Structures are given as C-alpha cells and as structure tokens.
Chains A and B, each alone.
Chain A
C-alpha cells in the first residue's frame, strides 16, 4: 500500500534502544509479573500441600522433556532468523521463522496428546488443586505459544519480502521469553516430584 509517512514520534530513539525493542522489553516485564504471580502462588501451595507429591508423580516427564527440546530448538531457529535479518537476508530470516513456528506446532501437538492421555486417566482439572495449577499454568503458556506463532507468521510474511526486518528480532525476543517460561515450568511441573 502507500508508503505512508509515519509520525515523527515513531522515528526517534532517544534512549538508543529502538522503540519496538524497548516496547517488547516492557511487555516482557509485564509478562514476568503475570507468570511470576501464577508460579509463585503455585510454589507456595506446593510447599503447603505435601500430599501433592503423589499427584505430581503422575505427570509425564518424557513428554515434558521432549517438549523442552522442541522449544529450545525453536529458540535456536528464532535467533538464527534474527542473525539472518542482521545480515540483511530476509528470505532466510523468514524461513527460520517458519521453522520456529513448526516447532511451536510440534510443541502444541505433543501437549495435546499428553493432556488427552492424562484426562483419560482421570487427572482432570478439578481432581485436585495441583492439577488445576498444572492445566492453568501450562494452558496460559500454551496461549503464549499460539500468540507468539501468530506474531511470527505475520513478521515472516513481511520479512520474506525484505520488509520490516527489525521486527524479526522483536518476535524472537518474545519467543525466547516463552521458552524461558517453559524452562521454569518444566522443573516445577515435571521434575521436582
């Protein structure tokens, strides 16, 4: 469409940090407290409820570990996309982003098999508050996976045409954050039993 003149406000960068990236950092600050609030309440409940140990024993460590590998790898492709964008190669950046999205989809597929299995076994949302936290925390995280994938798809479409390459980095930062959240969910829900 039109190469619209953007407001001058969007072109300034007094702090030296590009505006888009600065906004992304603030977004992450707010996400930290959202996940932080949920996970902190989980931790204190977990410590106050020794009986949850038997419930936690039923989570599927293998599925969690595979998903960790998937997310860590998708983070790698996200950072490689950024690297490609830095060198000005929009096509390559877009391809790496699509690869990241593929990782996101794999993550969700594994997750849905895992959940289906657990629900069939009777470990439903209301079985005990452990399971409520389990579905709540992993569900909130999964929503972020979906949102991140959509954002990356939009960025990838532009990047393939060589447009808005700086956004590749911003989407990547968000994706790494989603990864980091999982890095903590994994021990909280799967390992520390």
Chain B
C-alpha cells in the first residue's frame, strides 16, 4: 500500500464541475433528431401493418421486435446513452436482466395450471370458463376492436 500512496492525492479528477458533461463536441443539429423521429414513426406504422398479418408469429415479431428497435433508438439517440459513460449502460442493463430473471423464476408457477404432483384447479377453471364464454360471444360481433 505504501507504494500505492503516490498515485493518490493528485486529485485531478475532481476538477470538473457538473457543467462539464458531454457538451461541446456532441451537439447535433435539430435535423439529426428529426430524422430519427421520422424513422420512429415509420417503425410504428410498420408494426401496425404487421399486426394485420394473419400469421400470429409475424404479429408478435412485428410488435415486439419493432418495439425493441424503437426503444433502442430512443435510448441511444434521444437519451444519449450511446455517448454516456459505459457503466451507466451496464447498470441499466443489469436491472433489465433482473427482470428477465424474475420472469424465468416466476413464470413456471404463474403460467401453468398444473405440474408435477400439483394442480391449480381454480385457475384452470377460470381459463375454461373464459374460453367458453368467448365461444358463446361468437366470432361475429367482436372481431373488430370496439371503436
């Protein structure tokens, strides 16, 4: 530790106040942001079109794939995470990862209504009831969203 003391107390990193952020060199012209906005709107239209495709997989891909791209654009370009210190990105990503962990830990119990030597009778009954009610409602009336 005695050797290391020399590296201390230079204190240089303390100099800059809060004003010294990623200022000067990174100022983009407004047109830069407008372009991104146009791309975002385009993506949204794309996801709407995707939702009309009769294939369920395509709908989901369009819905969530495009949502991820949109979120990436907003985070990177509008929030400027692309030029932020890396550790910020890491801890934000970590909290996202914890949510994935939460999902995988909990989903086996909540998504399923039976398993190895157990049954969630009432949840299963609720699903059956719901499906039957939907059948009675019929395919006619409620296909289109209620406007």
Partner-B contacts on A (CB < 8 A): 10-22, 25-26, 28-30, 32-33, 36-37, 40-41, 43-45, 47-54, 57-62, 65, 68-69, 72-73, 75-76, 78-80, 83, 86-87, 117-118, 121, 123, 128, 166, 169, 172-173, 176-177, 179-180, 183-184, 186-187, 191-193
Partner-A contacts on B (CB < 8 A): 13-14, 16-21, 23, 27-28, 30, 33-34, 36-37, 40-41, 44, 47-48, 50-51, 59-60, 62-64, 66-67, 70-71, 74-75, 77-79, 84-85, 87-88, 91-92, 94-96, 98-99, 102-103, 106-107, 110-113, 123, 126-127, 129-131, 133-134, 137, 142-143, 145-147
Contact of A176 among B50, B51, B74 (CB under 8 A): B74
Contact of B18 among A20, A45, A52 (CB under 8 A): A20
Q: Which residue of B lies closest to A16 (CB)?
A: B85
Give the CA-CA distance A192 to B51 in the complex, in Å: 7
Contacts A16-B13, A36-B102 given; does A54 touch B142 at CB 8 Å: yes
Cross-chain contact A180 with B74 (CB below 8 angstroms): yes
Of A37, A79, A117, most buried by chain B (CB within 10 Å of CB) is A79
Cross-chain contact A57 with B145 (CB below 8 angstroms): yes
Nearest-neighbour CB distance to chain A for B98, whole angstroms, equals 6
Cross-chain contact A58 with B142 (CB below 8 angstroms): yes
Name B's interface SS. helix
What chain A residues lie within 8 Å of B133 (beta carbons)?
Answer: 51, 54
Q: Which residue of A lies closest to B88 (CB)?
A: A25
Give the CA-CA distance A58 to B141 in the complex, in Å: 11
Give the CA-CA distance A45 to B123 in the complex, in Å: 11
4 further A-B contacts with Cβ under 8 Å, apart from A33-B99, A60-B145, A166-B18, are A17-B84, A61-B51, A76-B78, A176-B75
What chain B residues lie within 8 Å of A83 (beta carbons)?
Answer: 27-28, 30, 33
What chain B residues lie within 8 Å of A28 (beta carbons)?
Answer: 92
Contact of B111 among A17, A47, A69, A192 (CB under 8 A): A47
Nearest-neighbour CB distance to chain A for B131, whole angstroms, equals 5
Q: Which residue of B lies closest to A25 (CB)?
A: B88
What chain B residues lie within 8 Å of A41 (beta carbons)?
Answer: 106, 110
What chain B residues lie within 8 Å of A44 (beta carbons)?
Answer: 103, 106-107, 110-111
Cross-chain contact A180 with B40 (CB below 8 angstroms): no
Nearest-neighbour CB distance to chain A for B11, whole angstroms, equals 10
27 example contacts (A-B, Cβ-Cβ < 8 A) are as follows A13-B17, A17-B21, A20-B18, A25-B84, A25-B88, A33-B95, A44-B103, A48-B127, A50-B131, A51-B129, A51-B130, A54-B133, A57-B142, A58-B142, A59-B145, A68-B44, A79-B78, A83-B27, A121-B146, A169-B21, A172-B79, A183-B70, A184-B67, A186-B67, A191-B62, A193-B51, A193-B59
Cross-chain contact B92 with A25 (CB below 8 angstroms): yes
Nearest-neighbour CB distance to chain B for A189, whole angstroms, equals 10
Give the CA-CA distance A44 to B47 in the complex, in Å: 22
Give the CA-CA distance A76 to B32 in the complex, in Å: 10
Give the CA-CA distance A13 to B11 in the complex, in Å: 12
Cross-chain contact A86 with B23 (CB below 8 angstroms): yes
